[in-house]
Structure 1
C-alpha cells in the first residue's frame, strides 16, 4: 500500500470515527428531538385522520450541538433580497438571533471576523438525486427510477437514499448546500414521493430528514415517459397519451378520495387501502406538493389546465427551459419555476432554452430558482446563478446580487413549503449559514465555513471538519496529499 493511499484510508477511518463520536455525544439519531422543535407526533393509523398523507417513518433528525456565534464585518445577503454591508449575523440555539451592522457580543459567544467575506443563507437545491443515484455511479446503486410502469406514485425516494453518498459532503463543502429535495427520476408520469433532507451526516435517511417538511410528488411530462413506455409498445407513446394516462389516474384518485372522505365523515366499512392512491389523495388534499419535470411551455400550460380539472396545485415546474414564454401564466397560478442557467439543447424538448430565462422570470415577478439535477452541478449553484445574472444584465435586466440570492435559498424553500423555517437569515429561522471566502458570485470563491442549525459542519481551516471518503483525492495540506 503506497503512502498516499494508506494515508487516505487512515484519514477516512478517522473521519468516520469522528462522525460516530459526534453522533454519540449528541445522543442516538434513532428517536431524538429536532433542533427546530420536538419530533413530529406519531402518524395516525392508515385511513384514520388522513393518516395516508402522514409519515409512518417520522424524522429522527437531531442537529449537532452548536455554540452561540457572531460573524461580523461581512457583507450579508439575507436571502429575501436584503443586503447589509459591514454587517454581522448572530445565531444561537440553532436559530438566527439577529443581523445588522452593530450587534453586541453575548457572553461565551464565538466571534468570527469576516473582513472581505460574505455571509448568506445555506443553498437549497430543490432538484437532486443524491443518495438514490449515488457516487460511484454503478448499476448496483442506481435506485432513482422505478421504470416498470408509467404510474408508480406508491414508491418513496427516501427508501432508495444511501446516506453515505459522498455527494452529500461535496455539496456541503464545495457548494454550501444545507437543504435538498431528493426526487425519483423522470421515466414515469407519476414517479413517486420526494423527500426533503438536511445535509447532515447520519446513519439513516430518517436521521437526515427535514423535520415536518411536506412530501413532494414527482411527476413528468414530455419525452421521457413516452419514450420509455412507447418503446415497450404500451401507453403512453405520445404526448396526448401522457395526458390521457395522467387524467385517468387523477380520476381514480378523485374517486378514492371521495370514498375515504365519506368514510371519515359517516363511518362504516373503510374502503380498501391503496398505497398508490394514498399519495395522490395527499396531493388533492394539499398536503403533498407536486414537483413536475416539464420543459416545454405548451406542456406546462396543459398540466395547469389538468390541475384545475382535478383540483390540485403544482408547486413548481422543474427544468422549465421554456418558462420564460409563460412567465405571466406561472405567476397568475402561483407556480414556481426551477431552471438551469444555460443547460439546454441536449434533446428536442429542451432546444428552445435561453440564458436569460431566470432574469426574465424575475422581471415578470414569477417565483424562480436555480436547481442542479446533477451531482457535479450541485457543487456550484452559486456560480450558475452568477451566469444567469450576467445573461440578464447583458439583456438589460439589472438584478441586484442580493435579490438573486433568492434563487438559491428563499424561493426553493417556498416551493418546498419550508420558507417559514429556513431559506433566509431572519430571527427565529434555522441557522443554516454559509461564510464565503469572497464574493459568492465569483468563480474563485468557496465556502469557508458552513453551519446547519447553528452547528459548524464544515471549516476549510480545520482538518477535523473537512470530510473525506474513499472516493476523494483529498485537499492540500491533508497529510501526504499534495
Structure 2
C-alpha cells in the first residue's frame, strides 16, 4: 500500500471514480489484427493467437478529482502558445477550457490562485528505467536487460517493473506525469517498452497507460558489441550489428506472411492450420504492421542514417532515436523522415560514440525543424527534466537561436507524447485531453523552479505543501521521515 494518508483520501471515492542506456501508433483494430476463427469456427485459445494474447491488461483508475480552475498564472500550453494571466479549467479528468482572464468558469469550481506562478502540461519522460532499474540499486532488482541473446524482442519491460520503486514518487514531485519504461541497451533488440501513468499503485497494471501503444527498444553502436563481443558470441562489430537487425526483420516478415496466409484461408472458409506462435516474432511482426513503435538507442549520425536505411528496406518507421548525440549533423534527414530525437542537455564525451556531442545538439536539431525531446535515462535527471530542458534551451540561445519558453516546453511535453504515440491524449493543454498539469513556483526553466502541484487526469497527485499528497511507496513506509509521522 502507499501511505495510509494517501489511501484514506481515496477510500471514500466509489469505484466509478544500468546497464541502462548510458551504460505512429494506432489503437484501431485493422483487418489483419482482428481475431480470426479456424474453419471449424472454434477460435484459437487466447494464448495461441497473437491477436488475442497481449500484455497484462491495464487496471488504471484516475485519482479522485473535482472541477478545478487554475487562474492567474503564466500558461505554456505545450503546443507553442504562452498565455499571460491565463486560465486552465479541469473537469472530469479532462482539460475543459484554456484561455485568458475572461475565460468563463463553471459554477462551483474550485479556484487555484496561480498568480506569479507558471502552468504547463505534465512532464513526460520518454526514456526511463524506473521500476526495472529501481532504487535501491541492487542485483536482485536489476531487471532492465535480458542479456541472454543479442535479440530478445520476446521480453516486455512491464514484466520487470517494480511499482514500489521510490523513484516514481521522486519523479512525480518533479512534475513527471507519464513515463516510457524501456529495457536497457545491451541487445540489438531488447524487448517491449511500457507507458505508465505516474500514480501510486500496488501493481504495474494499476499504472499502465490504457491503450498506449507499445514500443520496441533497439540499440546500435557500442553496447551490443561490448556485451556480446566479450562473450565470444553474437555481434562484435558494427557489421555484425547490422546483420543481426536484418536477420531479425527477415524472420519477422516471414512469420507475418505465414499468419496472413493462414487468416486469408480462414476468411475464405478453407481448412488451415495456424502457425506456431513465436513471442519475439509476434512483437516484430506488429512493428511491421505499424502497431508497435521503434525506440532506437543510437548516438552517431552515420549509424542513425544506417538504421533509417534498414527501416526503409524492411518497411517500418523509427519513432525516435534515443541519446542521438550527433543529431545536429543530420537534422534535415530526421525532419524528412519524421523521426524525433530524445537526448540530454549536455552529456558528451563519456564514451567514443558520444565524442562529437555538443551542448547545442538539441537546439540545432530543433532549428532544423526536427522533433526534439529531452529525456532522463537517469533516476536523478527525471526529477528535474524542466531544468534539463532549460539548459538545452540556454545552449541554443548562446549561439543566437531564438528559442522561446513556449517552444522548449514541448521538448518535455508534447514531443515525447508524439514519439510515444499518445499525443492525442496528453502532452498539451488542449481541450478534451487528459488533465495532466503542473503548477510551477516560477518559470519552469529556472534553476529555482519547483513543482508546487501536480495533477494527473485532474486528480491532485502531488502537493509540495500538503503531506497528504506526498505519497510514499511500500518500500519507504516505516523508514524514518523527518518531521512526519506515518501511522
TM-score in terms of structure 2 length: 0.90
Deviations 1:420-450 (A, max 9, x none): 1100000000000000011111111100000
Match for residue 301 of structure 2?
297
Match for residue 285 of structure 1?
289
Taking the aligned partners of 2:485 and 2:476, their CA distance within structure 1 comes to 17
- Check conservation: 2:200, 2:471, Cα contact below 8 A: no
Q: Is 2:100 the counterpart of 1:98?
A: no
1:273–1:67 Cα change, 3 Å: same
Superposition pairs of residues 397-408 of structure 1, within 5 angstroms: 397-408=401-412
- Check conservation: 2:61, 2:206, Cα contact below 8 A: yes
- Check conservation: 1:47, 1:260, Cα contact below 8 A: no
Deviations 1:180-214 (A, max 9, x none): 00000000001000000000011111110000000
- Check conservation: 1:381, 1:408, Cα contact below 8 A: yes
Taking the aligned partners of 2:10 and 2:258, their CA distance within structure 1 comes to 45
Superposition pairs of residues 405-420 of structure 1, within 5 angstroms: 405-420=409-424
Deviations 1:164-184 (A, max 9, x none): 1000010001x1000000000
1:477–1:113 Cα change, 3 Å: farther
Superposition pairs of residues 370-449 of structure 1, within 5 angstroms: 370-449=374-453
2:455 pairs with one of 445, 451, 458? 451
Taking the aligned partners of 1:46 and 1:477, their CA distance within structure 2 comes to 51
The structure 1 segments of at least 4 consecutive aligned residues displaced by more than 3 Å after TM superposition are 19-28, 42-48, 468-480
Which runs of 5 or more residues in structure 2 are unaligned? 18-28, 36-45, 267-271
- SS in structure 2 opposite 1:51? coil
- Check conservation: 1:43, 1:55, Cα contact below 8 A: no
- SS in structure 1 opposite 2:147? coil
1:339 pairs with one of 343, 353, 356? 343
Q: Is 2:257 the counterpart of 1:270?
A: no
- Check conservation: 1:26, 1:64, Cα contact below 8 A: no
- Check conservation: 1:22, 1:64, Cα contact below 8 A: no
- SS in structure 2 opposite 1:373? coil
Match for residue 196 of structure 1?
195
Q: In the TM superposition, what is the alpha-carbon distance from 1:19 to its structure 2 partner?
A: 3.4
Q: In the TM superposition, what is the alpha-carbon distance from 1:58 to its structure 2 partner?
A: 1.6
Q: In the TM superposition, what is the alpha-carbon distance from 1:471 to its structure 2 partner?
A: 5.0
Match for residue 23 of structure 2?
none
- Check conservation: 1:127, 1:371, Cα contact below 8 A: yes
- Check conservation: 1:294, 1:318, Cα contact below 8 A: yes
Which runs of 5 or more residues in structure 1 are unaligned? 1-12, 34-39
1:84–1:340 Cα change, 3 Å: same
Match for residue 54 of structure 2?
55
Match for residue 330 of structure 2?
326
Taking the aligned partners of 1:461 and 1:19, their CA distance within structure 2 comes to 14
Match for residue 179 of structure 1?
178
Match for residue 144 of structure 1?
144
- SS in structure 2 opposite 1:191? strand
Taking the aligned partners of 1:325 and 1:291, their CA distance within structure 2 comes to 20
Q: In the TM superposition, what is the alpha-carbon distance from 1:115 to its structure 2 partner?
A: 1.1
Q: In the TM superposition, what is the alpha-carbon distance from 1:383 to its structure 2 partner?
A: 0.5
Taking the aligned partners of 2:82 and 2:482, their CA distance within structure 1 comes to 33
- Check conservation: 2:6, 2:471, Cα contact below 8 A: no
Taking the aligned partners of 2:227 and 2:386, their CA distance within structure 1 comes to 33
Q: In the TM superposition, what is the alpha-carbon distance from 1:366 to its structure 2 partner?
A: 0.2
- Check conservation: 1:218, 1:290, Cα contact below 8 A: yes
Match for residue 5 of structure 2?
18
Aligned length: 455
Q: In the TM superposition, what is the alpha-carbon distance from 1:475 to its structure 2 partner?
A: 8.1
- Check conservation: 2:48, 2:276, Cα contact below 8 A: no
- SS in structure 2 opposite 1:420? coil
Taking the aligned partners of 2:8 and 2:277, their CA distance within structure 1 comes to 43
Taking the aligned partners of 1:166 and 1:78, their CA distance within structure 2 comes to 29
Superposition pairs of residues 206-221 of structure 1, within 5 angstroms: 206-221=205-220
Taking the aligned partners of 1:418 and 1:249, their CA distance within structure 2 comes to 27
Q: In the TM superposition, what is the alpha-carbon distance from 1:299 to its structure 2 partner?
A: 0.6
Deviations 1:5-51 (A, max 9, x none): xxxxxxxx9x62233344544456xxx79xxxxxx9x9954565x61
